[in-house]
Amino acid sequence: MIRAEHHKLTISWKVAAAFLCLSSAVVAQTTELQDLHLNTVPRTAAETARIATATAPTTDFDAAQKFEENSGGAATVRAAPDANAFSQPSGNISFENELTFKVGNGLFRKLWVSSPSSTLASDGLGPLYNARSCQRCHLKDGRGHPPENHEDNAISMFLRVSIPGKPEDAIPQIEGYLASLPEPAYGSQLQDFSVAGHKAEYRLQIDYTETAITLSGGETASLRVPDYTAAELGYGPLHPQAMISPRVAPQMIGLGLLEAIPAKDILALADPDDADSDGISGRANIVWSVEYDQPMLGRFGHKAGNPTIREQSASAFVGDIGISNPLFPAGAGECTDLQADCMAAPHGDKDVRAFEIDAEGLDLVTFYSRNLGVPVRRDVGDPQILRGKKVFYATGCTACHQPSYVTHRLVDQPEQSFQLIWPYTDMLLHDMGAVLADNRPEARATGNEWRTPPLWGIGLTKQVSGHTYFLHDGRARSLLEAVLWHGGEARSQRDAVIDMPPEDRTALIRFLESL
């Protein structure tokens, strides 16, 4: 067995931090490169002024803002009363595109089988994998959860793994890139399932210790501190410097709208040196795009490690299911050279598809993922929710959870084009402190940093996913616990929540539940 805390990154974060700031030239170049993959129409000066007015921070908490209930703009969908609330197409989608969405949904839900198989369109699973379909991790397009006990499987959660790289392993085009390499025997993530005749890589074991938190007004809370074990390793011990990072599957709604936010609007929020002295120093993660063969702004994943929905989908296919595709063509998926039997096993890319999922299939899944609609907010004019919104602003939560944007004008994506949206994220990396650190870098993200997650739809988690587990590893069992886990840059906000009157704390949670 190997425990997470025994294998910390050996490089000095103070030394690494000296190389983390992008120069203005690099930022400008990244902005240009990032938006080239979108078919955009430039904004006029009048539109820019309108956008600045529409997205300006509010100072009026007596009533809801105009259009605030439509979190996804015209793409917003009704708040379905059942577990399908996250599985609806964009509210402004055409009839023809809704048909494309449904075909993509079929591929998202498709159960893959091992090779050889008479089902030539669905073979190629594994040989090592975490799930047999996208839907198995993102059940009902919602967020995953950690195993409930030692007997429960980790179908919607896994451990990423890597070892520290050397300076020559860095990507020279990305300033401040923190080099890491796949673990020699296990690759970049651990798979807990395998096809017949092969051993799984491990079993995820989590043990929790409770710690009490005293809140104002005589209230208390309890946080569960996780201890991760990669148990029953199937291919020998992990490298002595192995760094592991637990990840639960995130919710899927609104991804296309997040992708359509202009890169310059996100980069304008970055403050790596905390020039405004507010204690918040968000940074952009700049990653290497396999699809475009260039540096791009990272947007997706818990550390913003992927630049586009298509690349995120392709990496999940090969890593989570073992399905080769045009961006990641390895037929053996995540098998490594030290797993000889796995590398030699039959796979499903020897037919007319060329890959186990071809470009057309990958595009359909991308279209589906891009168009999962954000549900309308509930009770935006409720006095307690308005009070909670005021607390949210006054406490400084909007320093990271940026309320609103206007998306690009897009020629060929009418659903995402020029929408006023309310995702409550700045899409940037923030140091969340040692308590949430995984001590594993990803591109420019340090072991203490995480991307600010969007908050839209968070109040429907119980309805959709059947639980209220939050954060990157599901350790928080409620929204209040998620807030109390904040540290690092968000420490003062967390302390303010601990110290505020109980009525304000309750109103804050009600506001979050309305999103």
Query: What is the tens place of the pLDDT at every residue in 173-182?
Result: 999 999 999 9
Q: What is the pLDDT of residue 354?
A: 82
Residue 255 CA to residue 277 CA, distance in Å, equals 31
- What are the residues whose beta carbons fall under 8 Å from the beta carbon of 360, sequence distance 6 or more? none
Is residue 16 very low, low, confident or very high in pLDDT (cuts 50, 70, 90)? very low
Closest CA relative to residue 494, chosen from 506, 486, 504: 486
Residue 490: pLDDT over 50 = yes
What is the model's pLDDT at position 30?
A: 52
Structure tokens that stand for 38 in this block: 């979108």
Decide: 27 and 35 in contact? Cβ < 8 Å: no
Q: Between 19 and 67, whose confidence is greater?
A: 67
| Predicted confidence (pLDDT) per residue in 35-45, tens digit | 767 889 999 99
Length of the chain: 515
**In which band, very low, low, confident or very high, does the pLDDT at 348 lie, cut at 50, 70 and 90?**
confident
Please report, rounded to a whole number, the percentage of residues in the chain having pLDDT higher than 70: 92
What are 283's strand-pairing partners? 429
Position of tokens 């594994």? 126
pLDDT at position 351 over 80: no
Rounded distance, CA 242 to CA 43, Å?
47
Helix or strand run (H / E) with residue 104: helix 95-109
Question: CA 304 to CA 449: how far, in whole Å?
Answer: 10
pLDDT value of residue 215: 98
Task: Residue 254: name the closest of 105, 66, 419, 450 by CA.
Answer: 419
Tokens 């007319």 belong to residue: 352
DSSP assignment of 111-154, as one string? Answer: PPBPSS-S-TTTB---SEES-SSHHHHSGGG------SSTTS--
The 10s digit of each residue's pLDDT in 281-299 is: 999 999 999 999 999 999 9
DSSP state at residue 325: -
The per-residue DSSP string of 440-472 comes to: --BTTB-TTEEEPPP-TTGGGHHHHHSS--BST
Q: How would you list the strands of the sheet with 180-181, edge to edge?
A: 180-181, 157-164, 243-248
Averaged pLDDT, 244-252:
97
The radius of gyration computed from the CA coordinates of the chain, to the nearest angstrom, equals 22
Select from 239, 154, 230 the least CA-distant residue to 473: 154
b (16+ CB within 10 A) / e for 53-76: eebeeeeebeebeebbbbbbbbbb
* Closest alpha carbon to 38 in 256, 328, 252: 256
CA distance 95 to 92: 10
Sign of CA dihedral 301, 307, 312, 313: positive
Q: What is the DSSP string of 14-66?
A: HHHHTT-PPPHHHHHHHHHHHHTTS-EEPPPHHHHHHHHHHTSPP---SSPPT
> Average pLDDT of 329-356?
88
CA distance 18 to 192: 38
Please state, in angstroms and rounded to a whole number, the distance separating the CA atoms of residues 372 and 468.
21
Number of domains, the chain:
1
Average pLDDT on 188-217 reads 97
Task: Report d(CA 310, CA 287) in Å as an integer.
Answer: 15
Q: What is the pLDDT of residue 300?
A: 98
Name the token pair of 159: 């451990």
State which residues form the domain around 81: 4-514
Give yes or no for residue 448 having a pLDDT over 70.
yes
Specify burial of residue 338 (Cβ count, 10 A radius: 0-12, 13-18, 19+): middle
Q: Do residues 455 and 515 lie in contact, with contact meaning Cβ atoms separated by under 8 Å?
A: yes
**For 60-74, 116-130, 342-356, 464-478, which range has the lowest pLDDT when averaged over its residues?**
342-356
pLDDT of residue 149: 81
Q: How big, in percent rounded to 5, are the helix, strand and coil portions of the chain?
A: 30, 15, 55
Rounded to whole angstroms, what are the CA distances from 232 to 2, 4, 211, 235, 390?
Answer: 9, 15, 28, 9, 49
Helices (H) and strands (E) in the chain, counts: 15, 15
**Termini Cα distance of the chain:** 41
Residue with tokens 């007015």: 53
Phi, psi (deg, nearest 5) at residue 268: -65, -20
Of 483, 493, 485, 486, nearest in space to 513 by CA: 483
| Residue 288 identity (one-letter amino acid) | W
Question: What CA–CA distances, in Å, run from 182 to 46, 160, 201, 320, 343?
Answer: 49, 9, 14, 15, 16
d(CA 237, CA 1): 8
